[in-house]
């Protein structure tokens, strides 16, 4: 049965959760003007990588990438599945630690960080234990409930913008390409599409629908950066840890019964992130269970979740988390580039046989 709509919603939710928190600060801190250029380069890379990935997966209908690499041989399995596993593990550690910090800053300032991390990870682990179809059904419901709220916030976030801050439009400085902040921004640019290669045996979808979802999220990359820049100016926005959240927090609507419109945004995006964490946990367990087939997936899920929690717990400060983010850059680019290209090469080779 075609589940393209579920794939579209999941693709959108995952990327929205990644884009509006850490991505704006990474872009704004990477350059002083002409922010559209680094954003555009990232989007073009995203489109190319996803197109190559989907084209490669097209050669392997109803087959996930675990089976694809395993059938190709132990060398491919070791070179690609092992890095994917560690990338997923690091990705969940960063997500749990970073977004728990956000929750304590905005919502629960008196709640200890360890309790927030435990709650975030417990909910995600429970959802992951229910399987991939439950995750996507939950995403379908969440999309209908929260996406209208997110788009409402995006519309009213233009309340305080000053279009003068859009200029200068062009910059001849391309040093941002090697800036660590810009490289970290690819966590949002390329961190959410790998799941397309894991769900094929369970959910069928059309490639065209994925590109529709991709097209929908493209404006969000620009809005997440330019709304805080147009509100505060590039120099001021670069000093904020979460520029977009600060821009939304500055909105004043006298006709709305709620004092802080930020609550709508953060509750929505944190729900998206919990869904994404559960999806990554499910994928991590699938890889682990492939190599340790004698263990029950439920036991592996608990062990992996406990490992993520312990490592997250021992990350002392936000600066330490950012260093972890930075150290993970090489692994991130290796997975984001090598997986789509290798799947495509294996697909072409299979077709020619």
What is the CATH classification number for the domain harbouring 70?
A: 1.20.1740.10
Residue 239 per-residue DSSP state: T
- Residue 182, C-beta contacts closer than 8 angstroms, at least 6 positions apart: 26, 27, 30, 31, 38, 176
Total count of domains within the chain: 1
What distance in Å separates the CA atoms of residue 56 and residue 341, rounded to the nearest whole number? 8
CB 38 within 8 A of CB 27: yes
Q: At what angle do helices 132-156 and 262-291 cross, to 10 degrees?
A: 150
Number of other CB atoms surrounding residue 157 within 10 Å: 22
Residue 67 is predicted with a pLDDT of: 87
Give the predicted TM-score (pTM) of the model.
0.91
Rounding to the nearest 10 degrees, give the CA dihedral for residues 50, 44, 216, 220: 130
Cis? peptide before 168, omega within 30° of 0: yes
CB 103 within 8 A of CB 91: no
- Residue 161, C-beta contacts closer than 8 angstroms, at least 6 positions apart: 227, 230, 231
Rounding to the nearest 10 degrees, give the CA dihedral for residues 280, 242, 144, 88: -10
CA distances from 43 to 189, 220, 317 (A): 7, 11, 31
Residue 20 per-residue DSSP state: T
Give the residue ranges of the chain where pLDDT is below 50. none
Residue 305 lies in domain: 4-352
Residue 260 is predicted with a pLDDT of: 65
Residue 282 is predicted with a pLDDT of: 92
Which burial class, exposed, middle or buried, applies to 151 when counting CB atoms under 10 A from its CB (0-12, 13-18, 19+)?
A: exposed
Q: Residue 333's closest CA among 345, 323, 321, 341? A: 341
Residue 278 is predicted with a pLDDT of: 92
């Amino acid at each position: 049965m075609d589940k393209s709509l579920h794939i579209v919603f999941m693709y959108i939710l995952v990327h929205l959760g990644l884009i509006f928190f850490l991505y704006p600060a990474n872009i704004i801190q990477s350059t002083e003007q002409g922010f559209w250029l680094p954003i555009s380069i990232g989007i073009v890379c995203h489109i190319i990588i996803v197109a190559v990935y989907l084209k490669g997966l097209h050669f392997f209908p109803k087959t996930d990438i675990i089976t694809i690499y395993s059938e190709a041989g132990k060398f491919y399995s070791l070179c690609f599945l092992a890095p994917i596993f560690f990338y997923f593990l690091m990705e969940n550690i960063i997500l749990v630690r970073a977004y728990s910090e956000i929750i304590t800053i905005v919502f629960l300032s008196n709640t200890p960080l360890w309790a927030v991390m435990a709650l975030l990870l417990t909910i995600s682990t429970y959802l992951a234990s229910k399987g991939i179809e439950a995750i996507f059904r939950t995403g379908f419901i969440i999309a209908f409930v929260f996406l209208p709220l997110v788009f409402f916030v995006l519309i009213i976030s233009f309340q305080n913008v000053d279009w003068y801050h859009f200029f200068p439009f062009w910059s001849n400085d391309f040093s941002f390409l090697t800036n660590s902040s810009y490289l970290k921004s690819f966590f949002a640019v390329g961190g959410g599409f790998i799941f397309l290669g894991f769900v094929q045996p369970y959910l069928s979808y059309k490639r065209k629908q994925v590109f529709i979802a991709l097209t929908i999220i493209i404006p969000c990359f620009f809005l997440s950066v330019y709304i805080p820049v147009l509100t505060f100016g590039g120099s001021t926005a670069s000093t904020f840890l979460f520029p977009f959240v600060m821009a939304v927090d500055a909105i004043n609507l006298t006709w709305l019964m709620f004092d802080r419109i930020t609550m709508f945004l953060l509750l929505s995006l944190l729900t998206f992130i919990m869904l994404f964490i559960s999806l990554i946990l499910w994928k991590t367990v699938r890889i682990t269970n492939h190599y340790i087939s004698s263990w029950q997936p439920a036991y592996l899920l608990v062990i992996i979740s406990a490992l993520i929690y312990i490592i997250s717990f021992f990350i002392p400060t936000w600066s330490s988390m950012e260093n972890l983010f930075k150290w993970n850059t090489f692994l991130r680019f290796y997975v984001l580039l090598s997986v789509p290209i290798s799947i495509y090469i294996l697909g072409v080779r299979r077709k020619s046989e």
